[in-house]
Each structure stands twice: as structure tokens, then as C-alpha cells.
Amino acid sequence: MESQKSAAAGFWVAASFGAGQDVGRSCILVSIGGKNIMLDCGMHMGYNDDRRFPDFSYITQNGRLTEFLDCVIISHFHLDHCGALPYMSEMVGYDGPIYMTHPTKAICPILLEDFRKITVDKKGETNFFTSQMIKDCMKKVVPLNLHQTVQVDEELEIKAYYAGHVLGAAMVQIKVGSESVVYTGDYNMTPDRHLGAAWIDKCRPDLLISESTYATTIRDSKRCRERDFLKKVHETVERGGKVLIPVFALGRAQELCILLETFWERMNLKAPIYFSTGLTEKANHYYKLFITWTNQKIRKTFVQRNMFEFKHIKAFDRSYADNPGPMVVFATPGMLHAGQSLLIFKKWAGNEKNMVIMPGYCVQGTVGHKILNGQKKLEMEGRATLDVKLQVEYMSFSAHADAKGIMQLIRMAEPRNMLLVHGEAKKMEFLKDKIEQEFSISCYMPANGETTSIVTNPSVPVDISLNLLKREMALGGPLPDAKRPRTMHGTLIMKDNSLRLVSPEQALKELGLSEHQLRFTCRVQLHDPHSDNDTLGRIYTHLKSVLKTYSIQHVPDGTVIVESIVIKVTSSAEEPNLKVILLSWSYQDEELGSFLSTLLKKGLPS
Amino acid sequence: MDISSDESDDWFIESLNTYKDLHVFQLEHPTKVIEWTGDKNICVAGYTGSRSEILELLLPLKLYAGENQGLCAERDFKVQHGGFSEEPIESLIHISGTRCVVTSGSSSSTLQIWDIGGDDSDVIKRTGVINLKSTSVKGCKIAPGLTDEPAVLHGSCISEVQLTEIATGRVLYTVAKESSDSVSGLQFVNACVFLICASDGTLFMGDTRDPSTCHYPLEDSKSGLHWAFGLRSDSSQSEPSGCTVARLSSSGHMLLSDLRNLQSPFCQTQLNVQHDASKNDFLNVSWAPVLDRCLSVSGKKCSSPQPVFSHRGHEMSDEAKYSGSPPVVTTHSWHQSRPKTILSVATDGSLHVWDWVDKITDR
């Protein structure tokens, strides 16, 4: 990669270099128009050692990445897309700009800090980034607004588009000169209750890079997922049990609250629903972020009903956890690794009438992760064991694009090439065929660590002078047609920032040069007993029989002319039979001239 | 999201009590066929547009998680294999014990034979054709043979029905009946005995060991009606004594007959249905494989007698709300082993998997 910082027609992409063939992390390198861009910098959540980080030695063996990368772009705050960012910027070393949307900038550090705490404090790991490193990393962040073109430098520009999926998630268009790439990150094409669907204009990028984790799935509707959620909560509450829903402070919580509130109202339910105080504190901050990020339609719905004033949902006090009877509690943190949600969990775990609903992914090492793996006995502090008798439910609400969604996005953006990352090539041949046939574009599916080269066909616009155009028209042939290339003769002048095509005469005039004419001469000796004139006549006849398609003239002044080639015959008085044939031709007829001289050297037929 | 009296929201809230499981999916293109290719796999195929996709889908694993259902988040269908057909597909059958499916389309005069594929590739490839005597816009009706050697019973009209060996293309049996009546459906009862239902409701029973076929016309045959049929047998190698045939007309007339006495149905009833001549294509009647004496009907709206359960999911979907006319269920299929699980598909591309609550027995 170090040697490939050169401009070429085309660019290349390398995805997720480092351990693991499965979907674990997103980290893609694109080299386009001489610029190197890193797209996402995720952590592989399945590994406990250095294999979880991308292998940056792929970029350079010599440590710091600043001079090799023009910028880093982060699509959204999920750890498999940004988890390795502080490691990369502070431990490996990168001081250039890191681009992400405003909500991503606000939420990333919170998630990274949570993640750091679990990994270092709970699991006692040492080779990991510190809190200060997270802060230093975020100082390098340049926030992006949707649909706003940002000039990274004179040649490289980027633009963010709405991706749906989670708050702040963006798809990014990267443009250098006339070449462009769009990277989707994670996105969804079916609108969510509060997030809407991804959208991009017909920007016709040379390449569209899309995640393909869910490319071969057909997703169950959001409504049915919500239905199951309500069903589980209802069943538990009906039998007198308590429901704990550990949530991340910012995100899915609000949506689930609204869902429950609507349901409680409709079914006239009486069981209390609580919202832990940690959530309400951050709620306003989240609300502001959200309102500026989301679109008009959704904003109106949220403004109509104040998101944080619920009729049935009240603030939680820790003493309520001991109250008898059914209740529902939303508490942080989301992975049950510490704090209030873990405290409540410990109190309620022993009763099989209760339920815990995990609405998202849990990092290894957390109680959340353990119970989702079916563990029934947990080791707590002080060697105490906790029996997990309550019902554990894993419900995923995250929105991803499936096979249909990918096709919709391609229809929207109209890329010239397609690249799918994080899928198994063997299992996606049908999708590749489908894309190639429906859109007549190439579809690439590189394995992790593999480099794909994309060849582009950039068009270079050039102004043509009217005179030259008229001259070309006068030559006849088919009319100019954008779809039919036509060879023509002219001079290209590149001056300042313009490219112009003019006739050679015009070019000479502009440059103040005079045209040089080149003529070649050649003498061929021949033994011929005839007179000079007769020899010339024989030459004429011979040439006429050989060069049937050329214009050959026998001029009375004693020359034969073939195109621009002039042929004369002379002889000396002493040796009248030794003829000297003089050939002369202009540079343009070099080939024919050489041919004639070779031909005549062979002599004339008798 | 807001508290509204939206019918669709009501239906979803009601569904908490009326369904045990409910999964709603949206296929890119609607299908008229659902065919089981394994315990957990089905094949669907497009019928709109000149080029159609055939897909083999794996059912959501959550349905099979049993006690661990809570911990299984897998509620999506997985596209395991896919292929392209040059024509809209009207029928699709799977040859049991193989990875072979046969399709019939609305524009060609051949049956297409496909290999669904294994683990090494996800592409469904065409491996051969069977030439037909003619083309039918409604597609040739097909049914898998139940012998060891893969064969397919096919025909669009009675006189053209024949049994063809797939590997060789050899014709193993022809129906010796001069009848130009069109075939509504056909099926093997066991390795040798088969049943054909004509569009006018006449039943034909044949045996591949015997060149003659018996036919049983309806006593009171009204013209202009279209009949569909569903066969119930205890196993794929049944004797006729264990089989019941249900016939349903487009005007809602339902007849149940025992194969030992096809002349006189043992039970008749009249369902109150919308009579709409243009929508007979999707009339479908099936027997529940596990539940006793339970029949399902789709493709027509039935108001009486009161059914045990009525699935209104397709009308209530978000997609249906925005389209002009409500979607029509094109076909449905019972799960092979789960007693009350049904898969249904509709003209808007929706695919539902549902398991209803029997208010009497399940409470």
C-alpha cells in the first residue's frame, strides 16, 4: 500500500484486514485518485486478544498512519464500526481528520467508555485504550452534516447521506476528481418508527460498497417484533411477574417506551412502568440530538407528543424494586454489566415468574452476554452464585437492509460497480448474478483482507474549436454522436485549467510557431537500357500494377507522382544504362515512400 | 405510534391473543407457489414479469427453537438457494428424496427441471426439460410421482395427462380419455393410484398399472364454475380407503368424498363466498396434515359458516393500506409437523407464517 499512492484510472478497496473470516468488524480501505481513506474502524467483538483490532501493519509496517491516510470516516456508533478508533488514533498513531455525523460524535465516546470499563475493569485486560485516549481521539473529530459537501483537501471531498439504522448513521460519498465511491455502513430501506429509511440521490458512483451480512435474508417485519415484545411483557405482567428491560441510555429505550405506553392505554393496564433516572437525565440531551437529525415527518410526530412525558411511565426509585406485584422497569446499563440494571437483575433473577428482555447486543464478559448464552448460574462478587430462574428473552430491533433493500439502494444510486463486504462468496452467487443481470454492472465480493481493483472509465471533457468541428464535418462520415466514438485529427492545448482541441494551423498560430515540413529523399540505382523517359514510363506501369488503390500520375514534365511522392529518373552521359531513380516524399507519406524505395530496389519487370 | 383507531393496529394488538406465533415478511416478487423441500425449507417462485426468481428459503429458526425460543433471535427467512426462470412460474413441485424440483410456466411448452443445489453453491440450475404437447396460459398442472424413480404427472387437459420419467423423458403412462376438459389439479394417492380434478369438478381416478381411468362427474354440474381440490391421505403410500377428497367450487359449494365411493360425496356444504369470476385462479383448499378433519380455504372471502379461524393478516399489512385493492391470498400451505402452523402468500408479495390460538383447546 505504501507504494500505491499514485493516481490512476481506477481505484482499489481492501476490506477488514486482520483476523477472522466471519462478520466481526468493519474496517475498509479505499485508495482513489491518489487518496487513501479508511472507512470505519471497528472492533471484532468475538476475540479477546489483539485479533480483535484490525491489522494496521497492512497499511504500513512503520507505525504511525498519519502520512498514509488522508482521512478516516466513521459511519455510526456501533462498536463493530468504531470500537477500534481510539486504539488506531492513539496507540497506533493517527493525527489526521476523523469524520462522523454530530450524533455519532456525541454518542461514540459514551459507548467507547462503557466498553473500555467492561474490558479493563471487569476483565482486567491491559492492552487497551484509556479514557484519556478516547478524549484525545474525539478531539480529532470533524462533524458532518447531511448532504453537505466537505472538502477534506483540494482534491478530496465527502458528503454524508441519511442511512436510517440508528441515530446518526450515515452513508458517505467520497469524490476525487470525476471518480467517486459510496460506502453504506449499516443501513435499512424500510422505514422505522423513529428513524426513517436510507436515502441517496442518483449520484452514479463508480463503486457502491455495501454490507451484505443480511443480504441473503428476508427480514421479519418490525410490527411482528414489536408484537412479540408486547406479548412477552403482557404475559409476564398478567401472571404477576416483573419485567426488566436493560437499555442503553440513548436509543431504543424511547421507542419501546412509546410502544408500551400506547399498549397500556389501549388495554387499560394498571401495572406500573418505570424509567430509571439515569435515562431521564440523558433523555433531553438525546432528544435535542434526535430532533435536529431526523426528518420533518418524524420530527412532527415527536413534537406533538412530548417524548418524555408519559402518562403511564414514571421515574424509578431503587426501593421500588422490592415492591410486590407486577411491574416493568427500563434501566441502564444495557448489557447488565454494572449499575442499576444489574442490581435489579440480582433481586429478580431467582423468580421464574419474572422476565428480562435484552433488546441488543451484549459484549463478552457481561452478565447480559452470559444469560443470552443460556447460563443458569452466575458467579457474582464474593464467590456468591446467582441462580437465573427468570425468563430470558433476546429481541433484536435493529434495522438492516436485506436482499430486497440492497436492490433498492442500487436502483437509487445507480453505481457503475458494486462491492459487497462481509458475506460468504459461496452463499451469495445468486445475489451477485441477480445484481449483474438486473443492472448490467460488475459485482465484487472480496474475502476479508483481499484487495479488489476497480477500473473506471473517467471522461475528460475537452472544448473543440468551431473551425475544427466544421472541418471534421466537411470530411463527411456519420454525424457526431455521443454514443459513437470517432477518431479525429487535431492538436490538444492544455493551458491553465482548460483543455482545447484545435486545428494544427490554429495551434501553430497561437504558439507563434511556423510549421516545418519534412521531406525524405532516396536514390535507387537501376540498370535499364532504355531512355530516361522510357524508364520512367516503365516505372509508372509497374507501380500502377502494384499499387492499384493509390493515385499515380505520370506528369509530362518527367515525374511520376504517387500521393505526395515524386519520382524522377536521371542518368549520366558516361553510363547511360545506369539509371538513378530519385524519390522524394513528405513525412506524412513515410510508410509509402519506404515501400516504394524497397520495391524499386528490386528492379523492374521485363 | 399514536393512540389511534387504525384497524390495522387493532388487529395487531388483537393478535397477541389470537396467534401464538406471527411472522410477516415481504418478498420482492409475489409467488403463487409454496412447496416444501425439507423439514425447514420451502421453495417459492415469481409469476409476475417475464423473468422470474425461484428461491429456496429456510424458515426462521425461532420456530424450531422449542424451549430455547426466548434466546433465539433468528426470526428471519434465509435465502439458501436462488435461480432464474425465463418465464412466470405457475406451478412448482418437489420430488421427495431428491434436490430436484419441476416447474411449469405460463408461456412455454415445456416443463423445467431444476437442481436446487447443495452446500457448495447457492445457485439453482436448470438441468433439463420435458416437452409438452401444447402451451397453456394457466400453466400445465403437475404432481410428483411417488415411485422410487423420479417422475412427474402432468397435463393441462385430461386427454394430455401423462406420467413422465424425469431422468430419461420416457413416458410411463398416458391417460386414455378423450376429454378436452381442463385440469384443475392432480395428485398421486400412492405409488400407482392417482386422482385428477377437472375444472368443472369431475373427478378422474386412475392406476398406472391399468390403462383405463374411471371418471366421476358431478351430479349437478353448473357451468361457469371453477373447482379446486385437496386430497387428504394418512401417508404417501396410502390405500384409497384412507383418503378423503375435498372439492370446492368458486361459488362456495364444498363436497367431501371418500375415495372408495367417489360417485357420492359423503358430505356437502355451502360456504357463503364472494362470487367473482375473475379471481378463481387462487382458489385453494387443503387438509391439515396433523389436525383431525380440519380444512383450510384461501383465495376467496368466506363469511359463513363461521370458520375455526380466519387469518386477516394480508389485508392488515402496511403495504395493503397503501394499495388500491386488498391483496388476495395466492396460496397457502400447512407446516408438515407443527399442528397449527400455516404459511400463506398473497398478490402483494407478502409471506406470513402463523400459528393460531384455538380459543377452546388452547386456554
What CA–CA distance (Å, rounded) separates A494 from A513? 17
Which residue among A125, A154, A157, A211 is the active-site one? A211
Q: Is the dihedral of CA B157, B161, B166, B169 positive or negative?
A: negative
Terminal CA-CA length for chain B: 30
Provide the grid cell at A448. 476479508
Please state, as a whole number, how many other Cβ atoms lie within 10 Å of the Cβ of residue A193: 16
Nearest to A118 by CA among A269, A438, A339: A339
C-alpha distances in Å from residue A246, one per residue of A227, A274, A564, B185:
19, 12, 91, 54
- Residue A479 DSSP code: P
3-state secondary structure of A404: helix
Q: Which residues of A touch B63 (CB under 8 A)?
A: none
- Closest CA in chain B for residue A431: B82
Are residues B3 and A394, on separate chains, in Cβ contact within 8 Å? no
| Edge-first strand listing for the sheet containing A498-502 | A463-464, A498-502, A491-495
Chain A interface, mutation test: which of B11, B51, B75, most A Cβ atoms within 10 Å? B75
User: pTM for the full model?
Assistant: 0.82
What CA–CA distance (Å, rounded) separates A3 from A36? 12
Please state, as a whole number, how many other Cβ atoms lie within 10 Å of the Cβ of residue B191: 14
Please state, as a whole number, how many other Cβ atoms lie within 10 Å of the Cβ of residue A267: 12
- Helix H or strand E encompassing B80: strand B77-85
pLDDT for position B95: 95
Phi-psi region of B86 (alpha: psi -120 to 50; beta: other; left: phi over 0): alpha
pLDDT for position B113: 96
Q: Closest Cα of chain B to A156: distance in Å? A: 37
What CA–CA distance (Å, rounded) separates A22 from B227? 52
Q: Closest Cα of chain A to B245: distance in Å? A: 35
Question: Would an 8 Å CB–CB cutoff place B28 in contact with chain A?
Answer: yes
Please state, as a whole number, how many other Cβ atoms lie within 10 Å of the Cβ of residue A493: 17
Are residues B71 and A407, on separate chains, in Cβ contact within 8 Å? no
What CA–CA distance (Å, rounded) separates A193 from A490? 61
Q: Closest Cα of chain B to A86: distance in Å? A: 31
Q: Which residues of B touch A230 (CB under 8 A)?
A: 13, 16
What CA–CA distance (Å, rounded) separates A388 from A457? 61
Is B269 in contact with B305 (CB distance < 8 Å)?
Answer: yes
Provide the grid cell at A429. 452467487
Q: Closest Cα of chain A to B23: distance in Å? A: 6
Provide the grid cell at B356. 393460531
Task: List the helix and strand counts (H, then E) for chain B.
Answer: 3, 28
- For A429, the closest of B25, B76, B122 (CB atoms) is B122
Q: Closest Cα of chain A to B330: distance in Å? A: 19
pLDDT for position A250: 60
3-state secondary structure of A282: helix
Q: What is the 3-state secondary structure (H, E, C) of A300-348?
A: HHHHHCCCCCCCCEEECCHHHHHCCCCEEEEECCCCCCCHHHHHHHHHH
- For A403, the closest of B23, B72, B79 (CB atoms) is B79
Q: Which residues of B touch A427 (CB under 8 A)?
A: 122
Are residues B71 and A234, on separate chains, in Cβ contact within 8 Å? no
Is B68 in contact with B46 (CB distance < 8 Å)?
Answer: no
- Closest CA in chain B for residue A254: B1
- Residue A91 DSSP code: I
Question: Would an 8 Å CB–CB cutoff place B271 in contact with chain A?
Answer: no
What CA–CA distance (Å, rounded) separates A225 from A217? 16
Provide the grid cell at A145. 452534516
Peptide bond between residue B305 and the one before it cis (omega within 30 degrees of 0): yes
pLDDT for position B318: 67
pLDDT for position A498: 83
Please state, as a whole number, how many other Cβ atoms lie within 10 Å of the Cβ of residue B303: 12
Is B196 in contact with B140 (CB distance < 8 Å)?
Answer: no
List all residues of chain B from 174 to 233 with a beta carbon under 8 Å from chain A.
Answer: none
Q: Block means of pLDDT (10 residues each) for chain A, length 606 residues?
A: 40 62 75 92 79 81 87 93 94 95 91 85 78 96 95 94 91 93 93 82 95 87 90 95 86 79 90 79 67 66 60 87 94 84 94 92 84 90 88 86 92 95 82 94 86 82 86 76 78 87 89 88 89 89 88 88 89 85 89 90 84
Cβ burial, residue A471 (10 Å; 0-12/13-18/19+):
middle
Nearest to B177 by CA among B152, B143, B145, B211: B211
Are residues A220 and B124, on separate chains, in Cβ contact within 8 Å? no
Are residues B24 and A223, on separate chains, in Cβ contact within 8 Å? yes
What CA–CA distance (Å, rounded) separates B37 from B90? 17
- Closest CA in chain A for residue B10: A266
3-state secondary structure of A430: helix
- Closest CA in chain B for residue A437: B84
Question: Would an 8 Å CB–CB cutoff place B355 in contact with chain A?
Answer: no
3-state secondary structure of A29: strand
- Closest CA in chain A for residue B317: A223
Provide the grid cell at A72. 478516516
- For A393, the closest of B12, B70, B351 (CB atoms) is B70
Q: Is A211 a catalytic residue?
A: yes
Chain A interface, mutation test: which of B4, B14, B25, B54, most A Cβ atoms within 10 Å? B25
- For B70, the closest of A262, A392, A426 (CB atoms) is A392
Q: Closest Cα of chain B to A427: distance in Å? A: 5
b/e per residue A12-22 (b: at least 16 CB within 10 A):
bbbbbbbbbee
Are residues B57 and A428, on separate chains, in Cβ contact within 8 Å? no
Q: Which residues of B touch A263 (CB under 8 A)?
A: 13
Is A583 in contact with A565 (CB distance < 8 Å)?
Answer: yes
Is A409 in contact with A403 (CB distance < 8 Å)?
Answer: no
Is B345 in contact with B351 (CB distance < 8 Å)?
Answer: yes
What CA–CA distance (Å, rounded) separates A353 from A588? 97
DSSP string, B177-200: ----PBEEEEEESSSSEEEEEETT
User: Can you give the pLDDT of all 363 residues of chain B as single tens digits?
Assistant: 333 347 888 888 899 999 999 999 999 999 999 999 999 999 999 999 878 999 999 999 988 887 778 888 788 999 999 999 998 999 999 999 999 999 999 877 899 999 999 888 899 999 999 988 877 777 799 999 999 899 999 999 888 899 999 999 999 999 878 888 889 999 999 889 999 999 889 999 999 998 888 888 887 767 778 899 999 876 655 666 778 999 999 888 999 998 888 888 899 999 888 766 556 678 999 999 988 889 999 988 777 778 888 898 898 876 666 666 788 899 999 998 899 999 999 999 999 999 999 876 664
Please state, as a whole number, how many other Cβ atoms lie within 10 Å of the Cβ of residue B111: 23
Q: Which residues of A touch B60 (CB under 8 A)?
A: 220
Are residues A374 and B15, on separate chains, in Cβ contact within 8 Å? no
Nearest to B66 by CA among B337, B345, B358: B337
What CA–CA distance (Å, rounded) separates B353 from B334? 10
Cβ burial, residue B126 (10 Å; 0-12/13-18/19+):
middle
Peptide bond between residue A333 and the one before it cis (omega within 30 degrees of 0): yes
Are residues A430 and B72, on separate chains, in Cβ contact within 8 Å? no
Please state, as a whole number, how many other Cβ atoms lie within 10 Å of the Cβ of residue A542: 16
- For A265, the closest of B3, B70, B73 (CB atoms) is B3
Are residues A262 and B28, on separate chains, in Cβ contact within 8 Å? no
What CA–CA distance (Å, rounded) separates B355 from A181? 46
What CA–CA distance (Å, rounded) separates A282 from A260? 20
Is B116 in contact with B35 (CB distance < 8 Å)?
Answer: no
- For A404, the closest of B3, B26, B84 (CB atoms) is B26
What CA–CA distance (Å, rounded) separates B360 from B80? 38
Is B335 in contact with B25 (CB distance < 8 Å)?
Answer: no
- Closest CA in chain B for residue A426: B121
- For A217, the closest of B53, B78, B122 (CB atoms) is B78
Is B240 in contact with B204 (CB distance < 8 Å)?
Answer: no
Please state, as a whole number, how many other Cβ atoms lie within 10 Å of the Cβ of residue A201: 12
Nearest to B136 by CA among B104, B93, B99: B104
Are residues B28 and A395, on separate chains, in Cβ contact within 8 Å? no
Are residues A220 and B76, on separate chains, in Cβ contact within 8 Å? yes
Furthest C-alpha separation in chain B: 67
What CA–CA distance (Å, rounded) separates B258 from B267? 10
Q: Closest Cα of chain A to B65: distance in Å? A: 13
Are residues B53 and A214, on separate chains, in Cβ contact within 8 Å? no
Is A508 in contact with A515 (CB distance < 8 Å)?
Answer: yes
Residues 6+ away with beta carbon under 8 Å from A151:
A157
- For A220, the closest of B1, B24, B72 (CB atoms) is B24
- For B12, the closest of A223, A394, A403 (CB atoms) is A223
pLDDT for position A3: 35
* ipTM passes above 0.90: no
Are residues B71 and A392, on separate chains, in Cβ contact within 8 Å? yes
Q: Which residues of A touch B121 (CB under 8 A)?
A: 426, 429
Measured CA angle at A98 (ends A51, A362), to 5 deg: 45
- Closest CA in chain A for residue B51: A438
Are residues A429 and B73, on separate chains, in Cβ contact within 8 Å? no
Please state, as a whole number, how many other Cβ atoms lie within 10 Å of the Cβ of residue B144: 23
Residues 6+ away with beta carbon under 8 Å from B257:
B203, B244, B245, B247, B264, B265, B266
